[in-house]
C-alpha cells in the first residue's frame, strides 16, 4: 500500500468515526435495576429477579437518579411509586430492553439451528458419511454436523435428530423425503478366493449379517439363491471354522470379506471404494434391490437453512 492509500484509508476511518455520535447513556446495570424495581414497585422483589441484594438495587437506582438530576421514585412506607419522570423513563427503558431481549433470542435460536444432527445406520455412517466430511466442511462452513449412528429408527419429530438418511421405501408418515441412492446388494469377495463361477460358492463360507426387523427387503442369501434361480448349496451351519460366518453389523461382514474369509452379500454403495480399488470384486450376479436410501426430515423442517444446507450437500454427493 502506498502512502497515499494509507492516508486515504485514515481519512475514511476518521470520517466514519466522526459520523457516529457517542451514546450518552447511564450504565446498563442501573437501567436494568430501575426497570425491575419499577415493574415490581419494590427493591426487594427486583433484587430477587436480578439475583442481587435489595441494597444493591437501591444503590443502582440512587446513582441513576443522581446522574439524571431528579428523583424517579417516591419512597413510601411499604412500596415504591414512580414519579412523572420515572414513568416516562420506565416506558422507554422497558421498550428498549424488550427489543434487546428479542434480538438476543433470535441470535440464540439461529445459533442453535446451525447445529444439525444427522442420524443414519452405523454402516452407512462409517462407509459413506465419514469419508465425505472434508467435502461437507467445504460445502457447509457455517454448519456443525453431529452424526448420530444408530441402527434404531429415530423419531425425527422429537429432539434427538434433525435429519436422517434411511433405507427403505421413503414412505414415512409426517416426513418429507427425497431419494438419495438406489441400493443393490450382490455377492462380493476378496480376489484371493479366485471365485469366478456360481458353482464355486459351495467351496467357500457364506458371510451373513443381521438385518433390522424394519428392513423393507433384506438381501439374504436365501433370497439371492431364489432370485438367481439355483438351489442353495448344502451348508454346514454357521459360526465355527470352515462354516458360514455371521455378524451383527454389515461393516464387520465387509471386513471378513476383505480378509478372504468368505463371500458376503454387501451393499454396492458401501463397498464402492473397495470394488473400485480391486480390494473386493463382484464375481457374478444377480444383484438384489433393497429399495434405496432417502433423505428424511419432519415436514417443514427441511426448509430450515442449516438443515437445507446439509440436505443439499448429501444430495450433491449422491449425484456424483
Candidate from 15-19, 151-155, 294-298 with smallest mean pLDDT: 15-19
Note the helical H segments in the chain: 3-19, 28-40, 43-50, 54-68, 84-113, 122-124, 133-139, 221-228, 250-258, 272-277, 305-319
Query: Please, which pLDDT band fits residue 290 given cuts at 50, 70 and 90?
Result: confident
Q: What is the pTM of this model?
A: 0.58
- E strands, 189-311, in order: 206-209, 245-247, 263-267, 288-298
Decide: 291 and 166 in contact? Cβ < 8 Å. no
Give the span between the Cα atoms of 300 and 18, in whole angstroms. 47
Of the two residues 233 and 24, the one the predictor is more confident about is 24
Q: Does domain 28-112 have CATH number 1.10.3720.10?
A: no
In the prediction, which pLDDT does 45 show?
92
Q: Does domain 116-129+144-299 have CATH number 3.40.190.290?
A: yes
Residue in the block written with cell 444383484:
287
In the prediction, which pLDDT does 6 show?
42
Q: Does residue 166 carry a pLDDT above 80? A: yes
Condensed to tens digits (0 to 9), the pLDDT of residues 201-220 reads: 888 999 999 887 767 778 89
In the prediction, which pLDDT does 111 show?
61
Average pLDDT over residues 165-185: 90
Q: Cα(first)–Cα(last) distance of the chain, in Å? A: 45
What are the C-alpha distances in Å from 280 to residues 15, 190, 227? 68, 5, 23
Average pLDDT over residues 71-75: 93
Span(s) in the chain for CATH 3.40.190.290: 116-129+144-299
Residue in the block written with cell 419494590:
42
Decide: 284 and 228 in contact? Cβ < 8 Å. no
Q: Does residue 136 carry a pLDDT above 80? A: yes
Span(s) in the chain for CATH 1.10.10.10: 28-112
Amino acid at each position: 500500500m502506498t502512502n497515499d492509500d494509507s492516508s486515504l484509508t485514515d481519512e475514511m476511518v476518521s470520517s466514519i468515526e466522526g459520523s457516529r455520535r457517542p451514546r450518552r447513556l447511564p450504565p446498563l446495570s442501573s437501567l436494568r435495576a430501575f426497570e425491575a424495581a419499577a415493574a415490581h414497585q419494590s427493591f426487594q422483589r427486583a433484587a430477587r429477579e436480578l439475583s442481587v441484594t435489595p441494597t444493591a438495587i437501591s444503590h443502582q437506582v440512587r446513582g441513576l437518579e443522581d446522574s439524571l438530576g431528579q428523583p424517579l421514585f417516591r419512597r413510601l412506607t411499604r412500596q415504591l411509586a414512580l414519579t412523572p419522570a420515572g414513568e416516562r423513563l420506565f416506558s422507554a427503558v422497558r421498550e428498549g430492553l424488550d427489543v434487546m431481549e428479542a434480538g438476543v433470542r433470535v441470535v440464540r435460536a439461529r445459533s442453535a439451528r446451525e447445529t444439525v444432527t444427522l442420524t443414519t445406520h452405523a454402516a452407512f455412517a462409517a462407509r459413506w458419511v465419514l469419508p465425505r466430511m472434508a467435502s461437507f466442511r467445504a460445502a457447509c462452513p457455517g454448519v456443525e454436523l453431529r452424526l448420530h449412528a444408530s441402527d434404531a429408527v429415530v423419531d425425527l419429530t422429537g429432539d434427538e435428530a434433525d435429519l436422517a438418511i434411511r433405507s427403505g421405501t421413503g414412505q414415512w408418515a409426517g416426513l418429507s423425503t427425497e431419494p438419495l441412492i438406489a441400493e443393490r446388494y450382490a455377492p462380493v469377495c476378496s480376489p484371493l478366493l479366485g471365485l469366478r463361477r456360481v458353482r464355486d460358492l459351495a467351496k467357500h463360507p457364506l458371510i451373513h449379517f443381521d438385518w433390522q426387523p424394519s428392513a423393507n427387503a433384506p438381501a439374504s442369501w436365501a433370497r439371492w439363491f431364489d432370485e438367481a434361480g439355483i438351489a442353495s448349496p448344502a451348508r454346514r451351519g454357521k459360526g465355527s471354522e470352515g462354516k458360514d460366518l455371521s455378524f451383527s453389523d454389515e461393516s464387520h461382514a465387509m471386513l471378513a470379506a476383505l480378509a478372504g474369509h468368505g463371500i458376503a452379500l454387501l451393499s454396492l454403495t458401501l463397498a464402492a471404494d473397495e470394488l473400485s480399488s480391486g480390494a473386493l470384486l463382484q464375481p457374478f450376479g444377480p444383484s438384489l434391490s433393497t429399495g434405496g436410501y432417502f433423505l428424511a426430515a419432519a415436514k417443514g423442517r427441511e426448509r430450515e437453512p442449516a438443515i437445507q444446507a446439509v440436505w443439499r450437500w448429501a444430495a450433491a454427493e449422491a449425484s456424483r
